Structure 1
Amino acid sequence: MNFFRHRLTGLPAWTLLLAAVGCSAADGGVPVAVPSPGAKATELCRDLDEALPRKLDGLAREETEPRSALTAAWGSSAIILRCGVERPAEMLDPAASTTEVNGVAWLAREQDDGGYVFTTGLRQAYVEVRFSAEQAAKGAGPLVDFAEPVKETIPEGIAD
C-alpha cells in the first residue's frame, strides 16, 4: 500500500522534472556564448542580426541558446556568428593572417580542432564567425554571404 502513496507523492516532482528536461531539450538552440559589448556596438549588432541570411552555404539558420540578437548559427554549429566580441590580441600582430572578402577585412585564426575563426577588422563592432572543421574543409565561401550585411550595418572605423 505504501507503493501507491509514494507514486502519487513523487508524481508531481517527476512530472516537473520531465517537463523541464523536455523544454530544455526541445526548445534549446545551438549553445553560443553571448558577447557583452557597449550600447553602440549592441545597436549595430542588432541591425546586423536583421540583415543576416536565413540560409548560408545550404545550411538553415537556427536559434541559439540563449537567444540573442548578438548570436546566430547555421547548420547546428557548423557556422556560428557572434557580434560585439572583444578585439582578438592577434589583430595587433603584423604577421597575423588576414584576408579581404568583398570589401570586409577578416583576421583568420586556425583552431586546434581544424576549425577557423574569422573576425572583422576596421569596423565599429567586431564580428566573429566560427567554422567547424567540417565546414572549414569546404572553404571560406560563406564569408562572401556575410560581406553585404556587415558592410550595410557595421560602419567602417575602430571598435571601442
Structure 2
Amino acid sequence: MNFFRHRHTAAFGLPVLALLIAATGCSSADEEPSAAVPGPDAKVAKLCQNLDKALPEKVDDLDRNDPEPRSALTAGWGSPAIILRCGVERPAKMNDPNAYGADVDGVGWLVEEQDDGSYVFTTSLRKAYVEVRLPKERADEGAGPLTDFAGPVKKAIPEGIAD
C-alpha cells in the first residue's frame, strides 16, 4: 500500500506501534457491516459524540453505511466498509520505537498492516483514540480516506494525551 500517493499524506516519526486487533468486523458486500462498540469513560464518550456529529456523509466518495449495532461511537462508509471506532483502548505497544506512523492533514496516525492485507489506523496525540479500519479491498487505493477524517478529528478531538 502506498500511503504517499493520495492527497496530503506524509510520514512522521512518532515512536509508536499500531494496534491490537479489536473485535471489529468488516463484512462481505451482501451483509451489513458490524463493529464492536468501544466502552470509553464519559469524558471520552462526549468527545466521540462530537466527532460523530462532525463526520462526513461521504468518505473517499463512499456513502455512509454505519455498522451494527448502531452507536455514536462507530461509523462506516461503503461496502466492504471503512469502519471508524472512537474511544478505543490505547494500543498496548504504542511506544514501540519501530512503529510506523503517518501525518495526514495535521492528524497523526499509527499504522498497522494486518495479516489479511487490511490496515488499521489509530490517531495519536489526541484526547481520545480514534481507530479506522481500511478493508483489504480498499488498501490498494492508499490512505486517502484519512484526509476525510482529518477535519472532523481536529474539530472534535483536542490534541493531547488520552487518559
TM over 0.5: yes
Q: 1:126 aligns with which of 111, 126, 129?
A: 129
Deviation at 1:78, TM superposition (A): 2.8
1:88 aligns with 2:91: yes
Q: Which portions of structure 1, spanning 4 or more consecutive aligned residues, are displaced by more than 3 angstroms? A: none
Contact 2:33–2:81, Cα closer than 8 Å, also in 1: no
1:47 aligns with 2:50: yes
Residues of 2 paired with 1:29 and 1:114: CA distance? Answer: 21
Q: Report Cα offsets for 1:69-98 as digits up to 9, x if no partner.
A: 000010134300000000112311011001
Deviation at 1:131, TM superposition (A): 0.2
Equivalences for residues 16-95 of structure 1 within 5 A: 29-95=32-98
Q: Report Cα offsets for 1:117-139 as digits up to 9, x if no partner.
A: 00000000000000001111110
Residues of 2 paired with 1:29 and 1:101: CA distance? Answer: 29
SS of match in other structure, 1:90: coil
Residues of 1 paired with 2:111 and 2:93: CA distance? Answer: 9
- What letter matches 1:140 in structure 2? A
Give me the TM-score of the superposition, normalised by structure 1: 0.80
Classify 1:78/1:137 alpha carbon distance in 2 versus 1 (closer, same or farther; 3 Å). farther
Who wins on radius of gyration, i.e. which is larger? 1
Deviation at 1:29, TM superposition (A): 4.2
Q: How many residues were matched structurally?
A: 133
RMSD: 1.2
Give me the TM-score of the superposition, normalised by structure 2: 0.79
Q: 1:150 aligns with which of 148, 153, 159?
A: 153
